Structure 1
Amino acid sequence: MSTATLDDLHRTGWWRVGGRDVHVTNLDKVLFPGPPPLTKRDVVRYYADVAPWLLPYLEGRPVNAHRYPDGVTRPGFWHKEVPDHAPDWLTRWHNTEADRDETQCYAVLDSAAALVWMANFAGIELHPWTSRLPNVHQPTWALIDIDPGETTTFDQVLELARLYRTALDHLGVTGMPKVTGQRGIQVWIPVRDGYTFDDTRGWVEAVSRTIGRIVPDLVSWQWYRDRRRGRARLDYTQNAINKTLVAPFSIRPARGAPVSVPITWDELEDEDLRPNRWTVHTVLERLRDRGDPLAPLIGRQQELPDLS
């Protein structure tokens, strides 16, 4: 339908991506304030460019999207249900277990065109399920989420991450850290087929409770932030079928368009490391130069050792 480049288009048009024609709209609308401001055209372009690195974390997984149609200076909202106007070629998953008031049909973003469609839909932030289709009750990752409190410094987040590094090394378990693009660090641990969410949640909780006992002044187990006294929460509860963490290379809804980026354990010692160090403007150069250290762990069949 169209051979135009994204820059050739005016505010609205058809852009051909990976053999699909995607209708893009309001391309000059500012979604991130400057300087420099970031338009929807910029967001669409970023998701098309980062697709080779991002898609392996999304393929075969339902996705929860955090949408900001009025830009990130206005409140966003979670959107899970595929809208009626979505293109026929978009891969969908129908959740036959959903109650009537729950999401019935999820998008599965398995192509660059699907990413562009979601970006045009103002899906700024992407959260894939931890499980893959068709076995949605079997997680493929065990997730550790170091969620800083109001007074938690990044140095303290790094201290907690290093404790997880030591624990996983002691247990002979392979995982990789990821800066969130906001304030925290996550650790993604691949697991073999057959585990349940109860298994991964219980295992991560056991490791996290041990770390919490080592540095009790840094950690709170309270669910509500206002009860944590500013301390970090080692959140093992994200290991559940209805819980998700932000995808690697997803944009975060903050000034400058920071990106969540996998790093190596050695980079925890980098004096320049910050959780929002990389943005849509800089992360592609990092990927071209250094690749993705988490990618080799995708699909790894890893046994979690017994902690009892």
Structure 2
Amino acid sequence: MSEQTVPPCPASLPQRRSDANKGSCGRVLLIGGSRGMAGSISLSAVAALRSGSGLVSAAVPDAILETVAGFHPGVMTIPLADNQTTGTFAATAQLPDLSAYDAIGIGPGMQTGTGSVRLITAILSQTQLPRVIDADGLNVIAAQNLLAADPQDATVDQQRTLILTPHPGELARLTGIPATDRAAQIDAAQRLATQHGLTVVVKGGPTVIVTPQQAGRSTNPTGNPGMATAGSGDVLTGVITSLLGQGMPTEAAAKLGVYLHGLAGDFAARKHGQASMICTDLLDSLSQSIQASESATSSPSP
């Protein structure tokens, strides 16, 4: 595959004005991490930078602040109260002022303790900012039944600003449908999306993006099995959060984010081979993916 033969891009990339500054290019907040999993939220944060965000902050347990700060000098860090024994978010952890941000990504590496439950519940109920929830954020939602069968009972707003990005195991916990039944999982994701006004990125080969419309499904044309590697999903969280922060509508950001992430995986596989590629290869290939997509045939998302 060359940069001239990439699949058609599902949406136009955000364009920077000639007088752009870092504040006008999207201010995003990534929340997550824990002792032993500082890399997860770090990957998300760097992916957001690489995808065009002007300002990226990572809110993490204080125990891993220095590790995350050392991952990339362009990522700002915010320490939250932590459990000193486990290195996870403490029950007393408080969100920073969310009005300072344009989009939020939460979940990578955060574990599922009391502090995480409180943060996820607050993100669902206290803001209508565009949000991406991944990994342990999804596990918290499933364990606490935050997506109740009756949307009126669910801890979710109805502004259609929320994207969930489950892999088959996480989707099984959210829906009760086993990971071995992909078709039924996609149908269940469609019901979640329709009931709650969500966009659901059903990861897999291929990834399917499900939107609130009854027939709102699209299959991503990029990506390969080499992307089944630790940290790949964390990169995707950062990419989609970045696009939301740059002002893209929820559904378009999900479709374009998955496309760019998969295309980066295709370029990485071409360079390293599917068996040898790792998550940082995705980060390294994101710029090539973005450049190639700019010249791909555009077809506006529905």
TM surpasses 0.5: no
Return the structure number with greater strand share.
Answer: 1
Bigger Rg, which one: 1
Q: Which protein is richer in helix relative to its size?
A: 2
Higher relative contact order (CA 8 A, sep 6+): 2
